[in-house]
Amino acid sequence: MSKPIENLHSRRRALALLGGSFLAPAVFASAVRDSSPITHHSSPVTQFAQVVPGRALRFPEDEGSHPDFRVEWWYVTGLLDAAVARPVGFQVTFFRVHTARETANPSAFAPRQILIAHAAVSDPDRGKLIYEHRAGRAGFKLAEALQGRTAVWIDEWAIEQRVRDYLIRLPARNFGFDFTLKETQAPMVNGDGGYSRKGPARASASYYYSVPQLAVSGTLIREGSARQITGKAWLDHEWSSSYLDERASGWDWIGINFDDGGALMAFRIRDRQQKLFWAGGTYRNAKGGSRTFAPDAVRFTGTRFWQSPRTGTRYPIAWTVAVGDLILSIEPYMEDQEQDASATTGAVYWEGAVQALAAGKRVGAGYLELTGYGKRLRL
């Protein structure tokens, strides 16, 4: 990794001598869950930048952080050893959250920007999902999200862009990643030129692009054993200040890398009665031709359910997804892929590796994310 994310342990020791500390997990959860502005007699409310149509995405500038927006994430999912019948899935997400406070306190320790990271390994042969979460206030080069290119980290966890490759270094307790993700295709712009609606109100939207068909190579560590791997991955980058409408409860999302080189992103946002509120999608074929789909052209139908033995939440983990005239069956590689992130983002959700079938034959694989089933998701 490059110099901005080196020597983190020595910096942490120096900060400890100065009295610096990371915020407790409960503080992070509160900062993310509270969607209302925070007011104080000496702290005016932040005026966040807004997502508007007609703004063209710029590469590579927009691949970096957008600190004037309330929330942002870099989301990487992938399948390793994809030639085997039950590949290993992996997921890494870095969130940047503006705390909604403008403070008169000039201290560099004031928590204006919060960074949160989720990482997981989905291992169907061992029948379990292994995950770990971290959080930290931005600053002192211990936790940062740089502007101008993708470079985001918390301590030694990091995603960093090198021209058109991405490096992921992530040593966790029971697993670890040291991956290079090589771009094989240009970014896929979602929505109307990157303006992705999430509801009928124009303000309920994000700027959004994906980078599908990333070629993965590197080292995977599981339970102390390291091995070389290859695979395919998908990167999503979104930023917004008003993502979910108050009437929405959560979403269902898929990112599928097709075996022929094509890619599909599709989502459905549900209302508080768990019915369709909004939808959208982007399909790019193997030759690079792209098509964006309006809400009435995207249909998610649950076909099989799984109930968590820990939370009691019932998730639709298998689907029929119709996007235009493309009809897919989405099947998970294993049922239990629930993550409990209540200590950081306040959410418990299902997120896992799946395969896509057409007319009973495998045509691709990727990830499925299900949020807002146990309780309404707040961003």
- Domains of the chain plus CATH, in order, are 3-16+23-35+58-370 (2.40.370.10)
Burial class (CB within 10 angstroms; exposed 0-12, middle 13-18, buried 19+) of 129:
buried
Residue 99 has a pLDDT of 85
**Lowest model confidence (mean pLDDT) among 214-223, 244-253, 317-326, 343-352:** 343-352
Q: Are 102 and 43 in contact (CB under 8 A)?
A: yes
pLDDT band with cut points at 50, 70 and 90 for residue 141: confident
Residue 264 has a pLDDT of 98
pLDDT at 109 over 60: no
DSSP 61: G
Residue 284 has a pLDDT of 98
91-114 burial, b at 16+ Cβ within 10 Å, e below that, comes to bbbbbbbbbbbeeeeeeeeebbbb
Q: Kindly state the percentage of the chain with pLDDT values over 70.
A: 83
Cα 167 to Cα 5, 92, 160, 162, 296: the distances in Å are 12, 12, 5, 7, 38
Residue 306 has a pLDDT of 97
**Cβ neighbours of 191 (radius 10 Å):** 21
Which are the contacts of 154, defined by CB distance < 8 A and separation ≥ 6?
Answer: 94, 115, 116, 117, 134, 135, 136, 142, 143
Q: Tell me what the mean pLDDT of segment 259-270 comes to.
A: 97
Which are the contacts of 157, defined by CB distance < 8 A and separation ≥ 6?
Answer: 117, 119, 134, 169, 170, 171
Cα 14 to Cα 6, 21, 139, 160: the distances in Å are 14, 11, 13, 24
pLDDT band with cut points at 50, 70 and 90 for residue 343: confident
Strand pairing report for 88-98 and 71-80:
antiparallel
DSSP 246: T
Greater confidence (112 vs 337) lies with 337
pLDDT band with cut points at 50, 70 and 90 for residue 105: low
